[in-house]
Amino acid sequence: MSEAADKDAKTEEPTEKRIRDSVEKGQTAFSRELPVLASLLAFTAYFALSGREMAFEQAYFLGRLLEHASTLPMDTPVDADTLFQQVFIGVGKIVAPLMFLLMAAGFAASASQNDPRLVLERIKPKFSRLSLSSGRQRVFGKKGFVEFLKALTKFVLATILVVIAVRPVAYHLLDTMFQHPAMVTETMATSIFSILIAICLAMFVIAAFDLVWSRFSWRRDLRMTKQEIKDEVKQAEGDPMVKARIRAVARGRAQRRMMKEVPTATLIVANPTHFAVALRYRPEIDAAPVVVAKGVDDIALRIREIAEANGVPVFEQVELARSLYRAVKMDQMIPQAFFQAVAELIRIIYERTK
């Protein structure tokens, strides 16, 4: 019930990230019937181009072998091994190119569906596959039912088309009993070629359906719930709570660093409660006064407390404090527009120290 409800909740199309992660894990859309069709087409093409020659050559080889069977030495195991090697090599020369062609066609059809990649996760043993419930779901579930329909369709279509292909040549096959042995091979080759064409047509229909179904089923399985999409966006952009926490930590560190600079300030410009700006001016180093700390409300009060505790002069200049707070960033020199007003305050400090 929970799995069905979960599938019903997956109404959204998969995102690019979901598709990319699926491909990286080796979970791609794949039609098993397409390599079978490619191998059948390759075999049919090979049979059409060189099937008759292959059949004649094989018949000639086996005919000579049977014709001279009485003269073949079979007295020792070495003689039997020699005969086996001759048969194996003779048949292998004919079968090996065909087998290589079939494997190449199957691999090409598989590679055409997805880029070949080595995914170690796909070959790792999974104990969940030993579960009876999951095995029953694979066999009797929707995918198992589709596989059963494909197998049944293959059998029915192949049977119908083979019957259609064989019926016209059935009488020719019966006539081979009265033909010269050399003609039997020609008749059999023609009949086999007709049967192969029929099977290829059946497999073409099945492979086309399977290719479409595999793509549809793959995307359907990758569908996401609305919550999964929200979580993915949150993960991509960053969790707002985590980002807020990071900003809070950064602000805390900046405030602690700023408070450490307050005792080194030359003066504090503030209004009674809301704004406070700490300025440092060292003529031998600074070309103009530099803002080393600033804040509003509680931070402004804290700056004033630290300044008073360390003997840093505090000047209550409402408009100047507000303007400096808004116009000058931390660790920056004040603009020229503030030179005269700040210079007056510094002059007062110098006069007090005389």
Q: Which pLDDT belongs to residue 2?
A: 46
| Cα end-to-end distance, the chain, whole Å | 88
Contact indicator for 181, 143 with CB cutoff of 8 Å: no
CA distance 264 to 289: 12
How does strand 290-296 pair with strand 275-280?
Answer: antiparallel
Closest CA to 275 of 312, 306, 303, 313: 303
Q: Which pLDDT belongs to residue 165?
A: 67
Q: Using CA atoms of 156, 158, 163, 165 in order, give the dihedral in degrees to the nearest 10.
A: 150
Residue 113: enclosing H or E segment and its boundaries?
Answer: helix 77-113
3-state helix, strand, coil in the chain (%, to 5): 75, 5, 20
Q: Which pLDDT belongs to residue 5?
A: 44
Closest CA to 35 of 99, 122, 148, 111: 111
Q: For domain 242-353, is the CATH number 3.40.50.720?
A: no
E-assigned strand segments in 297-337: 314-316
Question: What count of residues does the chain have?
Answer: 354
Report the amino acid identity of residue 178: F
Contact indicator for 195, 203 with CB cutoff of 8 Å: no
> pTM for the complete prediction?
0.50
**CB neighbours (10 Å) of residue 257?**
12
Q: Which pLDDT belongs to residue 1?
A: 43
Q: Domain boundaries in the chain? A: 2-235, 242-353
Q: Along the 354 residues of the chain, how does pLDDT read in single tens digits? A: 444 445 556 777 887 888 887 877 777 888 888 888 898 898 888 888 876 676 666 666 666 766 666 666 766 777 677 777 777 777 777 778 888 888 888 888 888 887 766 655 655 666 555 556 665 665 566 666 777 777 787 778 777 877 776 676 666 655 655 555 556 666 677 777 777 887 888 888 888 888 888 888 888 888 888 888 877 777 766 566 667 777 777 777 877 888 888 888 888 888 877 888 888 888 888 788 888 888 888 888 888 888 888 888 888 888 888 888 888 888 888 888 888 888 888 888 887 766
Cα–Cα distance list, 209 to 34, 112, 304 (Å): 10, 17, 79
